[in-house]
Structure 1
Amino acid sequence: MNEVILSETLEAFRSGDISLEETLDKLKSWPYEDLGFAKLDHHRAIRQGFPEVVFCQGKTIEQVVEIMDRLVSHNRNVLATRASSAMYEAVAKKIPTAQFNEMAKLIFVHQEDITVDGDRVVLVMTAGTSDIPVAEEAAVTAEVMGNKVERVYDVGVAGIHRLFAHQKLIDKANVIIVVAGMEGALASVVGGLTAKPLIAVPTSVGYGANFNGLSALLCMLNSCAAGIAVVNIDNGFGAGRLASIINHMR
């Protein structure tokens, strides 16, 4: 349920196209719907501008299918993260319009175009190729939420000349997401090259002393470059969502 759907429902009632009973039936699960194993927040799109996003990890395939089916009945665009191919195949049988990005592990249903401002670019960068799955989670999330996204991958500090070749794109970007594992140094370097808001995403990529992303997280939190915000380890979705919020501000 977003503002457009709510407005259309109320206008249809006012014009007499639907009865009071039909209107109440459409609104009866608002603001949330209790499925027993999940309470779906159908009010979230009105509060936050995008519907509740499904975190699939730890859920059964059947639960994911039912949650997605109910969300799609109330919202035109729906997103699910940390999804498996098996989950997508089951969802697609119920919702033929569902799409899947295997690398990002995202299922999304796109039934309504969101106006995209082509002058406001979200730039997603990675230190290495191994960081791309997390970066794609961020990039696709931002795209689904109505943002123009550019990608620059594998420009880590071990070959820093690769980064400098993209300075014009860094300058053009409105928001930058930097995804890096190992020691996570790329966020500090890019942060020192731009005045734009930068969202740093530590990944669990690295050898033993990386501590599954903890070293990159601490490096990013301790960056001396100003204007850097840090999300949790491997949290591409959180970075994409935050970048979208910033990019849509006026």
Structure 2
Amino acid sequence: MNDNSKKKYDAPSLAVEELSKGLYESNLKLGDINKKQREFFSNISHDLRSPIAAIRSAIEYLEETPDIGIEEREDLYKLIDKKAASLEYMIDEIFLLSKLSTNNAIVKPVPLPCGNYLEDFFFTNQADSKFNDVDLVLDVPMNFEHVVEIDPNYFDRVLNNLFDNALRYLGEDGKITLGAKVDDSNTHVIISVTDNGKGIDASNIDKIFDRTFTGDVSRTPSGKSGAGLGLSICKKIVEIHSGEITCRSKTGSDHGTTFAITLPLLQSL
């Protein structure tokens, strides 16, 4: 038999030590993912139990107190309705985050003039009564005709979350500014939402987009915390748009927070 016809043996391109190291690092990453998943489900489980417990307690009290007054009964009904709405909202958030994580195709970006889109969003919110006591400012240059590719329905959700988040933590003379500019390289648009609220502690800035983060006490009324899926959803939606969302914040006398969204620039009209 001709030796040249034999299949040649190819030595492994990686040494055993390198393979072992790669396997070890992969196991570490997998362990970290599993840990974050456990933390996520633990946080979600806690947040879901809270409104359920309140609803059950209110129902039990109604059942055990037949001679309850009309006003107290109405207050309990309102409490049940409020907690049920909270529960429904959290379930919707969990479902949306799950969909975004498994199927990016549900987001359907289209080319839109960034300035026009932001103006429409701003004036819609300005007409909302929940912002009556807030100074809303539009800081977008005139004729800002740069085009970005976004799904307006999902991107509205991002900006609405940032506006609502800002509103929740404003004090007196609250102010929210929606801004936009082109970066120095003229390749990206930077959309910003800035508030003059209490600010976020520096130690939590890197954690706020993590779905396992249970909330920043400095940004939560009465020190209450929650799973805070809103910012995780914002991050996921922005990433699907090939963008990036970042946060910078200060506490103390010069307090305030800015969320900045960087999106690829398609063209200028």
The two structures have a TM-score, normalised by structure 2, of: 0.23
Higher relative contact order (CA 8 A, sep 6+): 2
Kindly indicate which of the two structures has a greater share of residues assigned to helix.
2
The two structures have a TM-score, normalised by structure 1, of: 0.25
Bigger Cα Rg: 2
